[in-house]
Amino acid sequence: MDTVGQNMTVSPRGTYVASPVRLMIYGRGEAYQLPTVLAKLGVSKAFIITGNSLATKTPVIKKIEETLGAVHVGTYSSIGQHTPIADIRKATEKVCESGADVLISVGGGSPIDAAKTIVYHLHERIGKWIPSIAVPTTLSVAETTMNAGFTDDEGHKVAVSHAELVPKAVIYDGDVALHTPIFLFASTGMRAMDHAVELMYHPSASEVPTKRMALIALSDLFQYLPLCKEKPDDPDLRQALLLAAYSSLFPFLNNVSVGLSHSIGHALGSTYGIPHGITSCMTLAPVVHYKADTDPQSASQIARIVPFIRKPSTGDITKDAHLVADEIALLVHKLGFESTLTQYNVPPGEEIGIASRALGGNEKHKDWKTVEQIVHNLYQSK
């Protein structure tokens, strides 16, 4: 783990494992240049994976289909929130029937994770990795990772992981993202912030490029998220935030959870139907306060964030880490995302069950009591 603190008293040491992503394309209107991307990847039969809202309430999917022309061999547009396995099964059959040699996921984390999961299941079936291309419309950053989460028939979150699941191309287009409601877009921006903060103290995160990209991402997220809420129809702000999101989880090959905030968020999201952007709004600040008090190495990494969010240092690493947590909570308030578990109809007394799901059922985990307390506090009025 890199141990660089604010005063750079320890020389960093680490390794960055390059992701198999081949193309990252950004700019307004770039989503409608997909034929050029397909040619660069050497594929010619494209199948689109997306959600119902994008397909029926916006012109995005129809325009992409028209742009693809004869190379478009099908679309599955019924991927639900948290990627239900029933949708995966149906979509996988449709892809097989179409003869597609590339998947194009358009949307937020659910369609992107769905495409990656379909790729995984197809490999199990035919022994071949089908490449995918991601066109994200939110800031949840599923497009840079080797992991794909879906919800099984019992409502539990399940994950598959392999380096070949990383989309071979990612296209960030502010005009396409403009169709995402601002509540969803900005809340997933908090998910991106969750990535960036937790990567600062992740044991596998390298100093270059991962942590330094995360610091730049945090600077942009703190600056542009409030502006985007004020000007939701500004495609340039959407474009800037898409790039910040990419930087928050710069292609990072890791097959375990990013950190404790993410673990609690996954335990809440799929079980109770809470969007992951909202779970990050709930969990990130409390987790950072906990790290500040209990983990000096993590606190030193979190303290590095202070100048990037335009705040003066207190001169004390622990206090600076708490300052970061306070600023995260303040931003959640500014964006209007304060919420409680009660508002999402989570029954009282679920602390133990949520802690169990978050920590893999390990009651002896050092964070067990902390997770229980964090969850208990999330029931309270804000």
Do residue 317 and residue 219 come from a single domain? yes
Ranges under pLDDT 70 in the chain: 1-10, 255-256, 381-382
* Residue 151 domain-assigned (yes or no): yes
Instruction: Note the pLDDT of residue 4.
Output: 43
Q: Are 140 and 204 part of one and the same domain?
A: no
pLDDT of residue 196: 97
Are 351 and 282 within one domain?
Answer: yes
The stretches of the chain forming alpha helices (DSSP H) are 34-41, 52-57, 60-68, 85-98, 109-126, 174-177, 182-200, 212-230, 235-248, 260-272, 276-294, 296-303, 317-335, 351-358, 368-377
Q: How far apart are CA 107 and CA 97, in angstroms?
A: 23
Domain boundary among 127, 142, 172: 172
Output the domain CATH number for residue 73. 3.40.50.1970
Whether 61 and 208 map to the same domain: the answer is: no
* Angstrom distances, CA of residue 195 to CA of 170, 213, 308, 328, 343: 18, 11, 16, 13, 25
Q: What is the pLDDT of residues 63-86, one digit of tens each?
A: 999 999 999 999 999 998 878 899
Final residue in a domain of this structure, among 172, 201, 234:
172
> How many domains does the chain divide into?
2
Strand order in the sheet with 132-136: 23-26, 169-172, 132-136, 102-107, 46-49, 72-76
Instruction: List, in order, residues 6 or more apart from 8 with CB less than 8 Å away.
Output: none
Instruction: Say if 344 falls within a structural domain.
Output: yes
| Closest CA relative to residue 167, chosen from 138, 133, 139 | 133
Residues 151 and 294 in one domain: no
d(CA 40, CA 37) in angstroms, rounded, equals 5
pLDDT at residue number 197:
98
| Residue 141 sits in the same domain as residue 273 | no
**Half-sphere exposure of 30 toward its Cβ, with a 13 Å CA cutoff?**
21
Query: In the listed set 172, 197, 212, which residue is the last one of a domain according to the structure?
Result: 172
Q: Which residues make Cβ contacts (< 8 Å) with residue 284, sequence separation at least 6?
A: 190, 193, 194, 197, 261, 328
Q: Are residues 95 and 144 in the same domain?
A: yes
Residue 159 pairs in a beta bridge with 149
Q: What are phi and psi of 294, to 5 degrees?
A: -120, -15
Residue 22 lies in a domain: no
The rounded distance, in Å, linking the Cα atoms of 159 and 192 is: 19
Q: What residues contact 147, with CB distance under 8 A and at least 6 apart?
A: 116, 159, 160, 161, 165, 254, 255
> Are 108 and 225 members of one domain?
no
Q: Furthest-apart CA pair in the chain: how many Å?
A: 62
Do the domain assignments include residue 18? no
Instruction: Give residue-wise pLDDT tens across range 311-332.
Output: 999 999 999 999 999 999 999 9
pLDDT of residue 151: 84
Query: CATH number for the domain including 319?
Result: 1.20.1090.10
What residues have CB less than 8 Å from 316, skipping those under 6 apart? none
pTM above 0.85, yes or no: yes
Question: What residues contact residue 338 under an 8 Å CB cut-off, 6+ apart?
Answer: 281, 332, 382
The pLDDT assigned to 93 comes to 96
Q: What is the dihedral sign for C-alpha 338, 53, 138, 284? A: positive
* 23, part of any domain: no
The domain containing residue 199 runs over which residues?
182-377
- Do 196 and 133 lie in one domain? The reply is no
Please state, in angstroms and as integers, the Cα–Cα distance from residue 84 to each residue in 44, 122, 356, 357, following that order. 28, 17, 22, 18
Helix 276-294 to helix 296-303 angle, to the nearest 10 degrees?
Answer: 120
Question: Does residue 89 form part of some domain?
Answer: yes
Considering the domain architecture, whether residues 221 and 349 belong to the same structural domain is answered as yes
Residues 75 and 203 placed together within one structural domain of the fold: no
Q: How far apart are CA 28 and CA 316, in angstroms?
A: 43
**Rounded Cα gap, residues 131 and 353, in angstroms:** 37
Residue 10 maps to a domain: no
User: What 3-state DSSP class applies to 106?
Assistant: strand
In 10 A of CB 174, how many CB atoms? 22
Q: Is 20 inside any structural domain?
A: no
Residue 72: strand pairing partners: 46
Q: Are residues 107 and 198 in the same domain?
A: no
